[in-house]
Chains A and B, each alone.
Chain A
């Protein structure tokens, strides 16, 4: 499917508005033997319901819920099929209906999409979205092998048993076509590790220099360890409602203006050339000299059609004309530094081939035009896969509700996770962000969702 017919590019719409009211999460760790999965999910749900200034108590909230969405990437890791049923029971939601969503690394984003479809259609009015991943049952080496079984097992997994290698193949090609200095990629790693440093939830915080990243050990050339996401255990829970319920629960609900999904082949190898799908801030002229006029040579290994498709639909659904102008905050799926640059282009922050400018210009920093991954992202804070897309949206929600400091700056949040708030902690609370965007991403771009949050 690469020749679009009129039905293929229909812009989705919600039949009624969808709101986000609260979020909660655990901290994220490489190993979390202290708690079983149902404990982690309960802890995240409790934070969402009890620590987000809701106007109802926990008991009243329980009586309002009418549908649940569960988000876990890999049954391999948890070694428990139908885990959602067990979590649903332990959270006390039986016999309400639920659904478990699975789309690899984008599972979190897809779960939010599934919940939005339920609320927007009128099927449900109050939906907890519960995500988690338990990646500490096996060694890192086996874990990487499990993750690589989310590549094509017949024709690709055997070649590396390592997702970083599949991304490295894209990275090398991107670099061959665009010659981005490794220093620029390293800056993304430094930024996200640093922002993770201000988060009590983070697994891999640190203040690194560009040199630290460049001298770091290589996983699969050119990617170093510090440029790759962490492997995490933890949970994240988001509460989604219709308008009436949202205002019953909260004085500061945030609107989910859009969430849309796109896909592309599981094997990067099978991505056939097509003309670039243009975003609202691009025209034919934008790509007049793309690859020397070869605009059809797209997406190749340098771009994610799934991300472009998701952004195309979501931008048109939410009336976004120019993402850098219209968004005040962004969370990308920074699984690897290189894929972050690719994503900048896919979602139209810069035209294809010029993604590096988004970081080099300073726009993506806390004090820049479009602060990106203030959460610390997947590189610095977490990638407990089923929780990831939910975690991103919670971090934006908190920012828009002015709650960054409440959840990141309170010393008690740090002691809760056995940590000490750093003496040089700084607040990353933005001044009144009005519109935010979160990108959830799977495979080497097999599924991508684009969510747009807006202050009502």
Chain B
């Protein structure tokens, strides 16, 4: 039998330090959340609401939840308003690996009327301000199939 031919690159000898390459992908199913990402392709902002008539909360959740966090009953899809206000913002100068947005893109959290969460997203145009009114825009042409397919611009 021959020795294997793929060798680890040596970074240094003392102590012996080598490079372990990793080049595979992970297969990831969004499961019940998939409809949300498919919705973005059609310019729809899909949230969820509990279907249990006895539920005391029935809040509108965005990101969506397949089952109600307050009673564990299934939820149904409801289109959320596509306008909101900026609750907070920050621009990351040194993002981590895998960052796909253009440098200097403001990250924002959005308050939407009737929605009980403050969705994290990004501002595609303009300079972010607290309380600034924004509207949703969607990457329908060449979707990334990630949360980045949703962005906001000044309303």
Contacts and interface: CB of A to CB of B under 8 A. Distances in A.
Contacts of B92: 160, 162, 164-165, 168, 219-220
Interface string B1-45: 000000000001001010010000000001001000000000000
A178 to B, nearest CB: 13
B97 A141 contact: yes
B63 A267 contact: yes
Residue among B17, B116, B117 with the most chain A CB within 10 A? B117
B103 to A, nearest CB: 12
Contact of B99 (A139, A154, A160, A268): A160
Interface string A126-145: 00000000000101011111
B122 interface: yes
B63 A145 contact: no
A33 interface: yes
B63 A159 contact: no
A171 B92 CA distance: 13
A33 B17 contact: yes
B142 interface: no
Contacts of A271: 118
B109 A160 contact: no
Given A158-B147, A159-B107, A161-B99, A176 B94 contact: no
Contacts of B33: 154
Given A155-B120, A155-B147, A161 B97 contact: yes
Contacts of A268: 109, 118, 120
Nearest to A167: B90
Nearest to B19: A137
Contact of B120 (A33, A139, A217, A269): A269
B146 to A, nearest CB: 5
Chain B interface: which size bin? Answer: 35 or more
Interface string A213-252: 0000111111000000000000000000000000000000
Contacts of B148: 158-159
Given A171-B90, A217-B93, A220-B94, A162 B119 contact: no
Contact of A156 (B87, B101, B147): B147
A156 B96 CA distance: 13
Interface string B67-104: 00000000000000000000111111111111111000
A267 B90 CA distance: 16
A165 B15 contact: no
B109 A158 contact: no
A67 B148 CA distance: 46
Nearest to A143: B96
Contact of B107 (A143, A147, A160): A160
Contacts of A165: 90, 92, 95, 107
17 contacts: A33-B15, A139-B97, A152-B63, A155-B63, A155-B147, A158-B98, A158-B148, A159-B122, A160-B107, A161-B99, A162-B92, A162-B95, A165-B90, A176-B130, A221-B90, A269-B109, A301-B109
Interface of A: 33-34, 79, 137, 139, 141-148, 152, 154-156, 158-162, 164-165, 168-173, 176, 217-222, 267-272, 301
Given A170-B88, A269-B119, 4 more contacts: A145-B99, A155-B63, A267-B63, A270-B61
Interface of B: 12, 15, 17, 20, 30, 33, 59, 61, 63, 87-101, 107, 109, 116-122, 130, 146-148
